[in-house]
A and B are shown apart, each in its own frame.
Chain A
């Protein structure tokens, strides 16, 4: 775990943008994937939310949240180990990863309540 964190260089400012880039990729994947699924193989409306489309979107979202949460924890740990510039970088990155994780969680909530192609 420690070596993985070191390899990720979590005090580098590149992490300011990685979390939200992952959020964007998730967002495009979910929106685009949903649009393609509805165009190619729309499930029957009577299935409600219990469709393969919802399941896949939920799965992608859970994986994204897990990844972002892990990176949040990693950055928090790094922030505690450093001072000055490196601490600033890691702390801001931790906040951004946390926001990205919560952003996925919040925007993914409708997946469990709304049928996909109505």
Chain B
């Protein structure tokens, strides 16, 4: 195979001549293809870079939009942009920066960095990484294309209803947003799932939880927050798109809906989103400060504590974005208190960073300059955040430029500055070259001064009463000079960012070759070659310290010489350790799939779904959904004992078994985490159902439930019966028994299809008026949800039956039915909850 990443740089620890054979063997297996086949690459290093480069392109687009906004607002009475174009530009600036830059950029960094830091060779679901990238790219292109045709969303980046509903936004702008963002969110959730599983199950031998690099803790929290935090917005987007396309009145008062439901669903996602962005950036800070202070982080346990607290409390703050919508004072007080609580873990981290610097001997290199800039700006942003948590103050400055200024202090200070620090820090790893300190310092100071000139001043503009999202203002309002200063600052900041980008671009050609581990860092990513090889490490070390390269500086060399775990690549498989999530003890060898077209094909089919929904060609959308499902199922077929995966279970003497020959591979964990995301989606749905029932002023519930309770109970029993048989099959496989397994799987599938058929009958016979009442519309969504899940469960069970026949599943390869059982368990629980919520409770309580 022709591969790239084959050349090692002179300072490469993976370059000893006596172990060259090992490198060649590993390159044969892991190397990336060139040409058209580069589209099939699933390697985390390549995909992480693709995420980051694509993110930077979207950042430039978002930045240009920001400059257009500042040009428009520089002087009073400007007509540089029409009101509608201005609304499109501001909406897209926020949307692009939040959804297409901040999250994908940090996810890209995590995708690139996490396996290297934890001593693994790749992420645990490489094809999922690839699918995530393509969904991100296609979704981003679809969304930004709306700008080109001047049909971009214009209702603000949070798309409040009814402003974004058909009545006030009849063109396609809102549809671009809802469909494009949902598409991009597939990418975010995919990355979230696999980062969680990778961190928990693929750390190198001996790396117990309390020995993990601190960055991995941050990414673990971020990934779990994505998994739980994104589904509410996915649900909200689906509901709003259904309202716009079909007329289901989820957010229309007259139909029994409520526009405030959108705000709840959006901010259930939106506030954790701020911390989803902040946490990985803080992880960069906690990684860099000890390196440049030359001592371990003070209070590792305190930081772990702070990360976990932030992850949870950030889900309890969403209503502080809604203090002016008219909720009772007591409820506002709960959210005000919770909003203040979240400052505690943030403050702990700030004090930990200061203490580490205080006790160390900080070296003021370029990355540290950006870290200091972060500390100054983020602390200011945090303080205005506490001010905004106070209800009376919040009322005063709500929807003014003060909030815009606060948000930029938190997001630019809390994400952009650490991210640039991280880019400068890991640049030698990416390229093998050092950046220019001179250009870099110019870039920093211009950005720092420009940023504060723009946004510090904007606090005063806001306090003087300037509302956000107005496209112009009259002369003599007292806002003129402040807006002009902000605009000048914005352009200075742009010049700074341009210098940073110039520095990064030039360093690939003119940067000095970096010596190995140029910052004298402590974590394993610096044991790689620079730039890294496709397989990361020739051998996987045993690590029993938080600072492997400080405690054993010789480790990169011995790893490259193949003196640690899994150095042999004789069986042609991509392999790495699967370890115990708590202790880091080796449990199995995880074999990973190779390069594949399926992720690209599936993403392309999903893009067709997205575009055909946008232009409202629904039959094509339906066909594309089926095609995407076929691609995804075909992808899942090439697993386990399939000839393209691991037909041969042979391992070296003394090595643990392959994961597909055990009952606890990473796929099981990936399914569990996926069900967590799914559960978050379902809980959001239930919240919507009960919220409208309780709060909506025009909620109309029929005297008698339209759903046949008896039919639903029969369907539920069929589903439960199928799940019971599946559990029995899995128990048998645990005891190495597989008699009647194929027949069992077919029976389970049949029971699943019976449940689907009965549920379809219930749905059709209910005769729901989905365009007239939110009650019927939300009932329909719930039934379709259980239908889709039931159908998927039945199809997967059917495929398992077929795989038993092909010899891919059985006592010798017992893993997969256990994964399918997770879905069936979930389906059973969800089905009965749906029956209870939609069919039983209305009968018991009434309307």
Give the interface centre of B301, B312, B313 by most chain A CB atoms within 10 Å.
B312
Which residues 318-363 in B have Cβ within 8 Å of A in the complex?
A: 319, 328-331, 333-335, 337-338, 340-341, 344
Write the nearest CB–CB distance from B208 to chain A, whole angstroms: 5
| Among A30, A96, A107, residue most surrounded by chain B Cβ atoms (within 10 Å) | A107
B510 touches A (CB below 8 Å): no
Cβ of A36 within 8 Å of any chain B Cβ, yes or no, is yes
Query: A96 and B316 in contact (CB under 8 A), knowing A27-B334, A107-B338, A114-B330?
Result: no
**Are B341 and A103 in contact, with the CB atoms below 8 A?**
yes
Check A88–B334 contact: CB distance below 8 A: no
Q: Closest residue to B210 on the A side, CB-wise?
A: A88
Residue among A17, A89, A99 having the largest count of chain B Cβ atoms under 10 Å: A99
Q: In the bound complex, how far is the Cα of B316 from the Cα of A110, in angstroms? A: 16
Q: Does A74 touch B at the CB level, under 8 Å?
A: no
Do B694 and A89 touch across chains, with their CB atoms under 8 A apart?
A: no
Tell me the bound Cα distance from A85 to B212 in angstroms.
11
Which residues of B300-316 are within 8 A (CB) of A? 301-302, 304-305, 308-309, 311-313, 315-316
Q: Are A13 and B209 in contact (CB under 8 A)?
A: yes
Contact of B328 among A27, A106, A117 (CB under 8 A): A117
Contact A99 B209 (CB under 8 A): no
B669 to chain A, nearest CB (A): 15
Residues in B neighbouring A38, C-beta threshold 8 A: 328
Q: A34-B328, A39-B695 are in contact. Are A107 and B301 (CB under 8 A)?
A: no
In the complex with contacts A31-B331, A106-B337, A92-B312 CB distance below 8 A? no
Tell me, yes or no, whether B582 is within 8 Å of chain A by CB: yes
Number of interface residues of B (CB under 8 A): 31
Q: List 28 A-B contacts (CB under 8 A).
A: A13-B582, A17-B308, A23-B313, A24-B315, A31-B334, A31-B335, A35-B694, A39-B695, A85-B208, A85-B582, A89-B210, A92-B301, A95-B302, A95-B305, A96-B308, A96-B309, A99-B309, A106-B340, A107-B334, A107-B337, A109-B337, A110-B330, A114-B329, A114-B330, A116-B330, A117-B330, A118-B328, A118-B330
- Contact indicator A85/B312 (Cβ below 8 Å): no
* Interface size classification for chain A: 35 or more
| Residue pair B583, A35 in contact (C-beta under 8 Å) | no
Q: In chain B, residues 231-269, which have Cβ atoms closer than 8 Å to a Cβ of chain A? A: none
Chain A residues whose C-beta falls within 8 Å of the C-beta of B329 in the assembled complex: 114-115, 118
CB distance from A104 to the nearest CB of B (A): 10
Binding site for A on B (CB under 8 A): 208-210, 301-302, 304-305, 308-309, 311-313, 315-316, 319, 328-331, 333-335, 337-338, 340-341, 344, 582-583, 694-695
Tell me whether A20 is interfacial, beta carbon within 8 Å.
yes
Q: How far apart are the CA atoms of A105 and B315 in the complex, in Å? A: 18
A interface SS class: helix
Please report which residues of chain A, range 71-118, place their CB below 8 angstroms from some CB of chain B when the two chains form the complex: 84-85, 88-89, 91-92, 95-96, 99, 103, 106-107, 109-111, 114-118
* Closest beta carbon of chain A to B668's beta carbon, Å: 17
Q: Which residues of B contact A95 (CB under 8 A)?
A: 301-302, 305
Q: How far is the CA of A38 from the CA of B330 in the complex (A)?
A: 11
B694 touching A99, Cβ below 8 Å: no
Query: B331, A35: Cβ atoms under 8 Å?
Result: yes
Question: Given the interface contacts A99-B344, A107-B341, A109-B337, does A91 sit within 8 Å of B330 by beta carbon?
Answer: no
User: Which B-chain residue is minimally distant from A42 (CB atoms)?
Assistant: B328
In the complex, chain A residues whose CB is within 8 Å of the CB of B311: 20
| Residue numbers in A under 8 Å from B315 (CB-CB) | 24
Assembly CA distance A51 to B331 (angstroms): 15
> Which B residues touch A89, using CB under 8 A?
209-210
What residue of chain A has the Cβ atom nearest to residue B344's Cβ? A99
The complex places the Cα of A35 from the Cα of B335 at a distance, in Å, of: 13
Docked CA distance A13–B211 (Å): 13
Residues in A neighbouring B210, C-beta threshold 8 A: 84-85, 88-89
Known: A13-B582, A39-B694, A85-B210. A114 touches B333 (CB 8 A): yes
Question: A40 to chain B: which residues have CB within 8 Å?
Answer: 694
* Chain B contacts for A116, CB-based, 8 A: 328, 330
A85-B209, A89-B210, A99-B344 known; A16 vs B308 contact (CB < 8 Å): yes
Known: A39-B694, A85-B209. A27 touches B331 (CB 8 A): no
A110 CB, min distance to chain B CBs, angstroms: 3
Instruction: Let me know if B330 and A34 touch, CB within 8 A.
Output: yes
Instruction: Determine if A6 is an interface residue (Cβ-Cβ < 8 Å).
Output: no
**Contact assessment for A24 and B312 in the assembled complex, using a CB-CB cutoff below 8 Å:** yes
User: Which chain A residues lie closer than 8 Å to B341 at the CB level?
Assistant: 103, 106-107
Q: A34-B331, A39-B695, A91-B301 are in contact. List 6 more A-B contacts (CB 8 A).
A: A31-B319, A34-B330, A99-B305, A103-B341, A114-B333, A115-B329
Residues in A whose Cβ lies below 8 Å from that of B344: 99
B308, A111: Cβ atoms closer than 8 Å: no
Whole-angstrom CA separation of A14 from B319 in the bound complex: 28
Query: Quick one: CB contact mask for A5-43 with B, threshold 8 Å, 1 for yes?
Result: 000000011001100110110010011001110111000
CA–CA, A21 and B355, complex, Å:
30
A21 partner residues in chain B, CB cutoff 8 A: 312
A5 shortest CB reach to chain B, Å = 19
B333 touches A110 (CB 8 A): yes
Given A88-B301, A89-B210, A96-B305, A30 contacting B334 (CB threshold 8 A): yes
Q: How far is the CA of A114 from the CA of B209 in the complex (A)?
A: 44
Q: How far is the CA of A34 from the CA of B338 in the complex (A)?
A: 16
Q: Tell me how far the C-beta of A75 lies from the nearest C-beta in chain B, rounded to whole angstroms.
A: 12
B-side contacts of A115, CB under 8 Å = 329-330
Bound CA–CA A106/B333 (angstroms): 10
CB of B330 within 8 A of CB of A27, answer no
Write the chain A residue with the least CB distance to B301.
A92
The reply to whether A110 and B305 contact each other, CB–CB distance below 8 Å, is no
Q: What B residues does A103 contact at CB under 8 A?
A: 313, 338, 341
